[in-house]
Amino acid sequence: MKAIYKYTLMGLLGATMLTACSDDQLDTTPSTSVATEKMTGSAGSAIAAIDGIYRTMYTTGYTSGWEHEEFGLSAINLAADLMGEDHIQAKSGSGWFYYDYLYSVKGDYTHDAGRPYGVWNFFYTLIANANYVTTAEKTMTGDPSDVNYVVGQAYAIRAFSYFMLAQWYSRTLVGHETEPCVPIYTEPTTKDTQGKARETVAKVYEQIDSDIKKAEELLSATEHARNSKSHISLAVAYGLHARIAQVEEKWDDVLTYSTKAIDEAKKEKINITEVSQFAGLNKVSASNVMWGVSIIADQTTGYASFFTHMDADMGKYGASARQQITRSLYNKMGANDARRAWWNPADPANGDNGYQQEKFKFVNYATWEGDYIFMRVEEMYLAKAEAECMLGNDVDAQNTLKAFMAYRDPDYTCAKTGTAMSATTDLASGSLREEIINQRRIELWGEFGRIYDIRRLHQGFVRSTADGHPSAAASSKLNAATSNPESYKWVMVIPQSEFDGNANMDAAKDQNPFD
């Protein structure tokens, strides 16, 4: 089963075997090795496989080229952000990410570089390695607490990976439950593994739910303190569960797990932080960061870096293909909102476009250092407020939102009510839910992936040159497609290599629409 073997076994970053650690001392040094039965025999050795998975999340090598836009999870989320309406790439530069912005990457499906192959390969690589660890749950030796710590992370990684694949390769869950999604693999894959057919969206979410609940069960049963913020802790698992439940529109669960995430994060001394305390969004040590990866000088990917694209002051790609916020979203902030410092309306390079971003900055230009942040606790407060609103608890939602905004804008107040959302995001409904989503759009700009929310909210969007989008990115043809909440523009096509090697998938029947 050539395609899945190629896509899902972690051969991408080399096959150097790790040195096993003793069972009573987990080694959390990042590595890049294959997770095999030998390596998952004990908790001490299996943690090295887990660290290899996390390293994959911020390094290149999961495609055959185009590394400048293939630097792990942050690259995938940047592409997803540029697919929305709030994020502008003002110039084409060398083309990196600009074709995501223009919705012009599906034609790359025939080769093993670019977005169709890259996203598929990236998450199935994580899944394949997680499967080696989850399969060893009953046989893994070591202190039970350490086993729970290791295996719990593997289940969470698998849940997260299938969740992301579902968001890229199918339409959103609610209303499309019986549509095709992606194949499910829960056992280690080898060259002899037979490829599987696409499961329905509902079936994939059943697997996601099962995995995240199992992760929570194991991580709540470990006494092993988290060694690194790269590791998924119980708080992060709860946070992922809240994200999943938002897409499933299970609002009781969103409220439950966002609240649990906040409470569990507090045990790690992770709390909402003033904007001035995490300038640059480049340090996982910041007290509001729940999950991210620390990147030291000898582990940077150099030019192929999130910050290279974002930080114009580096004088590299970010200066020639500037990343900007739309004028309308910027203007939704109050005059004293501290987040205004994240963008510069006065930058002379703005031209007729949006406002230059200053939110993401390198820690050190000489060494190309800057950590990648995957989850902040502020997201959980916004998820909690949305859940309270959707459950009809407007006063609770207002109070949660105001408690969050107290760290952003001293003048902020909110008396809005209701859950109404407009057909497209450029039209205002005036509801409380819309206000929560607007604050989420501002807070998570550039780091979450705006298109994920647009999909689950069943909204369309329209880009305009008046808002700062270049004319090519605001074309009438694109707007006609993206104004439709049922759009297949947001559904990635499956790489041709998968069809070439998987007898249970037929391109004539199983490929996603190109338009």
Q: What is the pLDDT of residues 173-207, one digit of tens each?
A: 999 999 999 999 999 988 788 999 999 999 999 99
Label residue 162 by pLDDT band (50, 70, 90): very high
88 phi and psi angles, rounded to 5 deg: -110, 135
Q: In the predicted model, is pLDDT for residue 32 greater than 80?
A: no
Calculate the average pLDDT of the chain: 92
Tell me the average pLDDT across 228-248. 98
Label residue 485 by pLDDT band (50, 70, 90): very high
Looking at residue 8, what is its pLDDT?
A: 40
Looking at residue 17, what is its pLDDT?
A: 27
Looking at residue 398, what is its pLDDT?
A: 98
Q: Is 424 exposed, middle or buried (0-12, 13-18, 19+ CB in 10 A)?
A: middle
Between the CA of residue 471 and those of 53, 331, 466, 467, 494, what are the distances in Å?
Answer: 40, 21, 10, 11, 29
Q: Which amino acid is at 487?
A: S
Structural contact between residues 312 and 318, judged by C-beta atoms closer than 8 angstroms: yes
Looking at residue 178, what is its pLDDT?
A: 98
Looking at residue 37, what is its pLDDT?
A: 66
Tell me the average pLDDT across 343-355. 97
Q: In the predicted model, is pLDDT for residue 427 greater than 60?
A: yes
Max avg pLDDT among 7-16, 40-49, 296-305, 350-359: 350-359
Q: In the predicted model, is pLDDT for residue 1 greater than 90?
A: no
Angle 106-111-116 from CA coordinates, rounded to 5°: 35
Between the CA of residue 443 and those of 106, 322, 325, what are the distances in Å?
Answer: 30, 19, 12
Say if strands 343-344 and 289-293 run parallel, antiparallel, or are unpaired. unpaired
Looking at residue 26, what is its pLDDT?
A: 36
Tell me the average pLDDT across 216-243. 96
- Stronger pLDDT, 49 or 246, i.e. the higher one: 246
- Stronger pLDDT, 9 or 298, i.e. the higher one: 298
Looking at residue 384, what is its pLDDT?
A: 98
Task: Supply the DSSP string of 456-505, one letter for each residue.
Answer: HTT-B----GGGT--GGGG-HHHHHHHTSTT-STTSPPPPHHHHHH-TT-
Looking at residue 13, what is its pLDDT?
A: 29
Looking at residue 482, what is its pLDDT?
A: 97
Tell me the average pLDDT across 64-90. 96
Q: Considering the chain, what percentage of its residues have pLDDT values greater than 70?
A: 92
Looking at residue 296, what is its pLDDT?
A: 82
**Maximum separation of any 2 CA atoms in the chain, in Å:** 62
Give the separation between CA 82 and CA 97, rounded to whole angstroms: 8
Looking at residue 36, what is its pLDDT?
A: 62
Q: Considering the chain, what percentage of its residues have pLDDT values greater than 90?
A: 86
Give the separation between CA 414 and CA 405, rounded to whole angstroms: 10
Tell me the average pLDDT across 158-185. 98
Token pair, residue 67, equals: 């590394």
For residue 93, the SS3 value is coil
Tell me the average pLDDT across 278-304. 89
Q: Which amino acid is at 244?
A: I
Q: Is 162 exposed, middle or buried (0-12, 13-18, 19+ CB in 10 A)?
A: buried
